[in-house]
Structure 1
C-alpha cells in the first residue's frame, strides 16, 4: 500500500461489503481474520467457514459457484491464504464463472502465525496476478471511496471478480462463528437445497 494512504479497517470493509448482501448470496471464508470479520458482520446459514484447509477457500468457492450458477458466491481470503492457493486463480481464470467474486483482505502479513511480513508486503501484486490469469475485473482498493464504488461490482458484476483490499494490521476482537464442520456443512446444504438437502443422505 502507498505510504500516503491510511489503510482501511478490515472489519469495517467486510461489514460494508456485506451490508448490501442479498439473502441468496453465498459466502465462503478462509481461516483466521476473514472468518472472524464475516462472522462479526452477521452469521447466516449462507456462510461457510473453512476453519482449516489453508489455501483451499477459492477452489471451494469455485466448486460452489459452478454447482450453483444462479447464486452469487463471494470468497473472503487473506493475502497469505491467497498466496498458498495461488494456482486457484489460474483455474478460476480458465473456468470464468460469472457468479464468483474473490475478496482478498490484504494486510501484507501472516496474522495467524505472528505477523511476519508476507509476500504482498514484499512487492507481490495479487491483483496483477489475477489479471494475468484472465480476470477482466480485478482491482486493488486502498480508499473508502474506491471500496464504495466497487461493492456493487463484488456483489453483482459479471465475474470472475477479484478485489484486493489493502487493510491495516490493527487487531480486532475475535468473533467466533460455529466451528463444527459437519454441522456447518449440513446448515449450508439446507440453505442451498432446503428439504432436498436430506434426500440423498
Structure 2
C-alpha cells in the first residue's frame, strides 16, 4: 500500500492539462509539495466539498477534472457523489485516497473500513477502478467518466510545509487557468 503522497505523485506525473481539485489539509499540502500548478485548486476549508466543486467545473467545460478526495470528506457529503453520478459528466474523475481516517484532524477512524466506498460509487452509477497494488493512473485517463478511482493509502501525513499562498491567491490563479 502506498503513502498518500506517493499516490499523489504517481497521479500528477501523468497529468497534462487536467484541472485538479484537491481535498483540504494535508492532501492539498502534499500535492503542493509534489507539484505546484495553476491547474491545481488547493482547498483550505469546506470539508466534503471537493467532489462537488469538481462536478461544477466538469459541467462547465470540456477539460478533464480530477478530484483528489479523502474517505472522510466523501462520507461527509455522499449527496455530492450522488449528484455527480446523476449528472454523469464524461470528463470527471473522482479519486478516493482512502486511508480510512480523518488524517488531517488527528487520524480518527472513518467508516471506510466497514463500507466499500467503491461499491457505493458503483451502485450510484460511476465506473469504478480500484488500484490495490500498482497505481497506473493512465488507465483512469483513458476511461470515460464519470469515473471513481479507489486508491487505498496508508494512514499517514507526509512532513510537508504549509501552502505559502493565501486563499485569494489560490482561487485567482486557478480561475485565470480555468478561463484560459
Please report the TM-score for the alignment, with normalisation by the length of structure 1.
0.84
Query: Residue deviations 1:137-186, cap 9 Å, x none?
Result: 21332212xx22xx123324210111111111233112433442222121
Whole-angstrom distance in 1 between the partners of 2:139 and 2:161: 27
For the 8 Å contact 1:46–1:191, the answer to whether it is kept is yes
* 2:158 maps to 1:172: yes
Q: Specify which of 31, 45, 55 is matched with residue 24 of structure 2.
A: 31
Contact persistence 1:51–1:179 (CA under 8 A)? no
2:11 equivalent in structure 1: 17
Distance, in Å, in 2 between the alignment partners of 1:47 and 1:175 is 17
- The 4+ residue runs of structure 1 with deviation greater than 4 A are none
Q: Which of these residues, 81, 94, 102, is aligned with residue 86 of structure 2? A: 94
SS in structure 1 of the partner of residue 169 of structure 2: helix
Cα separation, partners in 2 of 1:160 and 1:178, compared to 1, 3 Å: farther
1:124 matched to 2:115: yes
Gaps of 5+ in 2: none
Count how many residue pairs are aligned between Structure 1 and Structure 2. 180
Structure 1 partner of 2:47: 54
- Report matched runs for 1:144-155 at 5 Å: 144=134, 147-148=135-136, 151-155=137-141
For residues 132 and 88 of structure 1, do their structure 2 counterparts lie closer, same or farther at Cα, with a shift above 3 Å needed? same
DSSP 3-state at the match of 2:75: helix
Superposition RMSD in Å? 1.4
Does the 8 A contact of 2:24 with 2:47 survive in 1? yes
> Structure 1: which 5+ runs fail to align?
1-6, 195-201
1:140 has 2:133 as partner: no
